[in-house]
Amino acid sequence: MRLRQLAPPPGRFQVSRSQPAAEPEPRFPLITSYELWRRMWWVLAYGIVVLLAGEGITIYGRHGLDPSFLVVLALFLIILGWLYLRQRWHYVSLTPEGLLIRHWFHLTTLPYESLRQARAQPLGTFFDAPSRRSLLSGSLKRYASSPVCIVRVEMDHDRLLAVGRELGRRTVLDQDLILLVRRADELDRGLRPQIRRRPPAAASRPSRRR
């Protein structure tokens, strides 16, 4: 993988992109990638078995290999491999440096100092407010009952939107980053101790009477 470091943006916090020396653990796969793999792998595997059986019968009957069979078989294998790598390389993880988000070969780390709050709740509950209901549509609606980890991030909103694009559409709302991952409750429990607690505001002292 390529080592990539962005120039520090204006502001207090920045997003760093780097290649860790070893794969961080534990990993929390994105539900969208995992569910697509879970639904499709057996269909593709069954198709490959049928192709092999059909071509075996054809070769036995005419003693020849159909070139189109190799093309179709290669296509099935490519799609199967792509889906497998997609669910393996799309995940969120906790590292000593911060919250790591992996999207293919891009590694984005949000420093813990930029995180202000974490909570786990069903995705539909988060969008239950009247101002948000219209935003829960399309591919997200099927995950309405799935638990997600929602993180409040103190960061320039445009940069936060760039991070959200690696997680999928509509995963950023205001300063909230929606992490639609497996084992969201476990991720929430791991994040909370890492989030820096803001010191309470100093109480104003009453003025002394002279």
With beta carbons less than 8 A apart as the criterion, state whether 94 and 109 touch. no
Q: Which residue has the tokens 């080592």?
A: 3
Question: Using CA atoms, how far apart are residues 53 and 117, in angstroms rounded to an integer?
Answer: 55
CA angle 27, 32, 38 (to 5 degrees): 85
Peptide bond into 20 cis (omega under 30): no
Q: What is the pLDDT of residue 17?
A: 55
Q: What is the pLDDT of residue 65?
A: 66
Predicted confidence pLDDT, tens digits, the chain (210 residues): 443 444 444 545 555 555 544 544 689 999 988 888 888 988 888 888 888 887 776 666 566 666 777 888 889 999 999 999 998 999 999 998 899 999 888 899 999 999 999 999 999 898 888 878 788 877 788 888 899 999 999 989 889 998 888 888 788 988 999 999 999 999 999 999 988 655 444 444 444 444
Query: What order of strands is seen across the sheet that includes strand 27-29?
Result: 27-29, 90-94, 98-103, 106-111
